[in-house]
Copies of this chain bind each other. A is one copy, B any other.
Amino acid sequence: MNTHLMTFQNTSIVLGEGLRQSVLLEDACKTSSIVLIADENIAELYGKEMQSYLQSSSKEVYLLTFPPGEASKSRATKEKLEDQMQKKGLGRDTTLIGIGGGVTTDLAGFIASTYCRGIPLILMPTSLLGMVDASIGGKTGVNTPYGKNLIGTFYLPETLIIDFDFLVSLPKEGIEEGLVEVIKMALTSDKKLFDEMEKAGESLLKLDKPLKRIIKRACEIKLEVISTDFEEKKGMRRILNFEHTVGHALEKFFNYQMPHGTAVAIGIIAESFIACELELLKRTYFNRIVKLLKPLAPCKQFDLREVYDYMILDKKSQDQLPRFVLIDNIGHVLAFNDDYCTLVEEDVVLNALQFIQEI
């Protein structure tokens, strides 16, 4: 078993194999009670065996579940799970372990942060996206009828356990979705990582050394970003909005039926096209970006004007014009006077939208 350890504030981050049934996990639970939180699918796949494993250390271990899907990321689910914990008489001497994708880690983190005003939290992301993005950074929250993640806290887990073995059961689409997110990170923050992913190519779709290396590097990047701006008070965070202007508009146009990873991939290509058109980004770099992302960005037909109009609704837009986070190099975002985004002429944007329909 090969584990890599990093620490951020009081969080230990452990990466490796076989961690979901390990002494390391047992040791991370310092309380007399443990609550595992997972959606019904993950509970079936892993939750029950983890419960049995942890029970052998003679602790009280409960497994609480909720229906899978984004709809469960709500105040109602939070309340239901809290009530189940309270009914069992659980107090502060309880560790909460969230096992699953972003919905679960966000929900479990929010519950841990407000249960008895904060109990120890362990997160175990099971999706690639969760490993490289959602579970890192202490953002917790739920959706409301008014929008996503509107109610939540900043709350760090004591331990973040990234068990590569969870990826074995992940479908190809799940791996691709996570890879797109890593490519995005590389484009905004780390040229070396981009080079590495280009070289690794298709081999990243297998659970092997190259993928594990990339996960580790992505965690490091995310940690660097959040350690400079943990509560998103500075403008830096805007760089995470790269591809959002196009990506979110597409998701809205397709009524959220387009896979998130696809929207991100297409968004990256479109916004890199804009940077290239404006002669901010070299064409050779742009071509490399297109080449790497094309397999992950299946061509879709859509109404240019309608998608353009959705962009104007974006939080960053100004004077009825959409604004964009733009890169001027692989691994570097333009600061635009610390705004980290800029207005772009309508015809350039429409050309970009035209382009992504034709690749």
Contacts and interface: CB of A to CB of B under 8 A. Distances in A.
B313 A83 contact: no
B91 A317 contact: yes
Contacts of A86: 144-147, 150
Interface stretch (A112-120, A160-168, A332-340): A112-120
Contacts of A144: 82-83, 86
Contacts of A91: 314-317
B317 A117 contact: no
A141 B16 CA distance: 38
Contacts of A313: 89
Given A93-B318, A118-B154, 5 more contacts: A82-B150, A83-B144, A89-B312, A89-B313, A117-B149
A99 to B, nearest CB: 22
Contact of A151 (B115, B154, B318): B115
Which 7 A-B pairs give the minimum distances between C-beta atoms?
A86-B146, A91-B315, A117-B152, A114-B151, A92-B315, A116-B315, A114-B153
A117 B79 contact: no
12 contacts: A82-B144, A86-B145, A89-B313, A92-B315, A114-B114, A115-B150, A115-B151, A116-B150, A117-B139, A117-B152, A118-B154, A153-B153
Given A144-B83, A146-B87, A318-B93, A153 B115 contact: no
A217 interface: no
Nearest to A141: B117
A40 interface: no
Nearest to A93: B318
Interface string A75-98: 100010011001101011100000
